[in-house]
Chains A and B, each alone.
Chain A
Amino acid sequence: DAKTTQPPSMDCAEGRAANLPCNHSTISGNEYVYWYRQIHSQGPQYIIHGLKNNETNEMASLIITEDRKSSTLILPHATLRDTAVYYCIVRAVNQAGTALIFGKGTTLSVSS
């Protein structure tokens, strides 16, 4: 079973920031938070991951709370092409290479 809880759906206006929350209250000290997304029927795409510090890359920012029990993925300027299902996954360091456990994710709809 997925160790994360995400809202089933969210809406966002094009050009605005999309903030996608994820609860992972049982996360262990050696577990990272990963975010992937899947645009309709395409292969899932890696977005970002982090342990305890906030992270930023060219796609998004990841904010992890100090107690690490929740996190937020931020798409700073959402576009129509960001419409997708977003998955928050927790994963231990020693699980490298093994199966990703996808939950139900959050369906983000970006509209103009």
Chain B
Amino acid sequence: EAQVTQNPRYLITVTGKKLTVTCSQNMNHEYMSWYRQDPGLGLRQIYYSMNVEVTDKGDVPEGYKVSRKEKRNFPLILESPSPNQTSLYFCASSSGIMYTDTQYFGPGTRLTVL
């Protein structure tokens, strides 16, 4: 089954404790990205990657890092989480092929930073 998986699904942590949220897709997609969703602000892109070893900032990259060492994986790293990073996070992937560029989203990771 074609899917995007994220782990963990829920995470409660404390300020300053480094964490990684994993994302993996099994569709051989070129493009992957991370969004965060906050009440009243909608979905906003954090980082995206157009291919292996190619990443770029989205609209709200501050406080986050990503890496794309393999095509299927795109982990989101919070080196020193802060309470304002409490949010619902989604990973997404797409083929990037024009005319059929549908994005597939993971189930989400609900992060709480105390």
Contacts and interface: CB of A to CB of B under 8 A. Distances in A.
Interface residues of B, number: 30
A104 B40 CA distance: 8
A43 B90 CA distance: 7
A97 B108 contact: no
A112 interface: no
Contacts of B58: 99
B33 interface: yes
Interface stretch (A3-11, A14-22, A44-52, A67-75): A44-52
Contacts of A99: 33, 35, 45, 48, 58-59
B82 to A, nearest CB: 22
B42 A94 contact: no
Nearest to A51: B99
A43 B99 contact: no
B74 interface: no
Contact of B30 (A43, A45, A91, A97): A97
A96 B43 contact: no
Given A49-B102, A96-B98, A97-B30, A41 B88 contact: yes
B7 to A, nearest CB: 14
Interface of B: 4, 30-31, 33, 35, 42-43, 45, 48, 50, 58-59, 88, 90, 92, 94-99, 101-108, 110
Interface of A: 32, 34, 36, 41-46, 49, 91, 93-100, 102-104
19 contacts: A32-B99, A36-B103, A41-B88, A41-B108, A41-B110, A43-B90, A44-B105, A45-B105, A46-B102, A49-B102, A96-B31, A96-B94, A96-B97, A96-B98, A96-B101, A97-B30, A97-B95, A99-B35, A100-B45
